[in-house]
Chains A and B, each alone.
Chain A
Amino acid sequence: MKQYIRKADIILFIVLVLTGLAVSAALSFSHADAGADAKVVIESGGELYATYPLSEDRTVEVPAYGNKGSNTVTIENGEVCVSEATCKNQVCVHHGSISRGGESIVCLPNRLIVRIEAGGSEEGGGYDSVTS
């Protein structure tokens, strides 16, 4: 067994796990509740494509950036999901729904980001207000 796992391996393992836990804890705190006037922001190829209120149900077809294809973004009951996509891996579709401020769905092949920006008069969605 000794040649499989050494002391340094265990230390490295613990360091990596602690890093992961720390990062995920930090990230879960930055997810604010979306609030009443939260917005759904859709970006394509790094540029803003459209912004919609989270409270209104609607379905939008977003053309893919650069190449052929599209993603269908559905806003329903305060939740957003990518219901259909032309991309090969369908990761964005399997991602499911998001509803909290700061959460996002990413489709890499089509270079699409759908994210929720928390509303409210105070700081907004944490760091979202810094970048905007």
Chain B
Amino acid sequence: MTQSPRKSSAQFVARVALLASLALIFSYIEAIIPYNPGIPGIKLGVANIVTVIALYRYGWKEAACVSVIRIVIAGLLFNGVFGMLYSLAGAVLSLLGMIGLKKTGLFSVTGVSMAAGVLHNLGQLLVAAALIEDLRIFFYFPVLLFSGIAAGIFVGITSQMILRVLR
């Protein structure tokens, strides 16, 4: 990178803003599609495609910023403050997991995203357990684990396809 710090920070802001608004549109589309899986926390998480792409194409800082901005705004717009709290916990765990697994270099985008899906649901479950002060909520754990795997694989393969075109 031969750019001056000023230019690259402007680039960073622009990039994050663009990606965050893209992710927000995905969140919105997912929020208006009427489907009810019957169990809380089961979502495809289309917006996470943007996070994964930000992580692989740009870096962890971009991915973290995009993810947090998207969740805060989507929380205020459609999911409510409680939904935001769950998503933030999930996002922090899954971001840490993704960054860690990506560093090992062993996993493909699909694998990293699969782990992220599971960690995202685990984070939400931990917040739910803390809020409701009852560990019995971990009855949901297997369901959330499997749905996290499925959603993560979907997000991972889609992201990989998009990344291939972007390259």
* A contact residues vs B (CB 8 Å cutoff): 3-6, 8-9, 12-13, 16-17, 19-21, 23-24, 27, 43, 46, 88-89, 91, 94-95, 103-104, 106, 108-109, 111, 113, 115
Contacts and interface: CB of A to CB of B under 8 A. Distances in A.
B111 A5 contact: yes
Given A106-B137, A108-B132, A111-B131, A20 B146 contact: yes
B108 A95 contact: no
A20 B157 contact: no
Nearest to B39: A91
A128 B56 CA distance: 46
Contact of A6 (B80, B111, B118, B137): B111
The A interface, classified by DSSP as helix, strand, loop or mixed, is: mixed
A126 B111 CA distance: 37
Nearest to B107: A8
Nearest to B140: A106
A27 to B, nearest CB: 6
A67 B128 CA distance: 17
Contacts of B40: 89, 91, 108
B114 A108 contact: no
Interface string B88-102: 000000000000000
B82 interface: yes
In this complex, which of A43, A94, A108 has the most chain B Cβ atoms within 10 angstroms of its Cβ?
Answer: A108
A13 B104 CA distance: 16
B157 A17 contact: no
Q: Which 5 A-B pairs have the closest CB atoms?
A: A9-B111, A46-B133, A24-B142, A8-B106, A20-B145
The B interface, classified by DSSP as helix, strand, loop or mixed, is: helix
Interface in B27-41: 36, 38-40
Given A104-B136, A115-B136, 4 more contacts: A6-B111, A9-B111, A46-B133, A91-B40
19 contacts: A3-B164, A6-B108, A8-B111, A9-B114, A12-B111, A12-B115, A16-B118, A16-B149, A20-B146, A21-B142, A27-B139, A46-B134, A89-B40, A94-B38, A103-B139, A108-B40, A108-B128, A108-B131, A113-B132
A16 B106 contact: no
B38 to A, nearest CB: 5
B159 to A, nearest CB: 10
Nearest to A10: B111
B58 interface: no
Contacts of B80: 88, 109
Given A23-B141, A111-B132, A113-B132, A17 B149 contact: yes
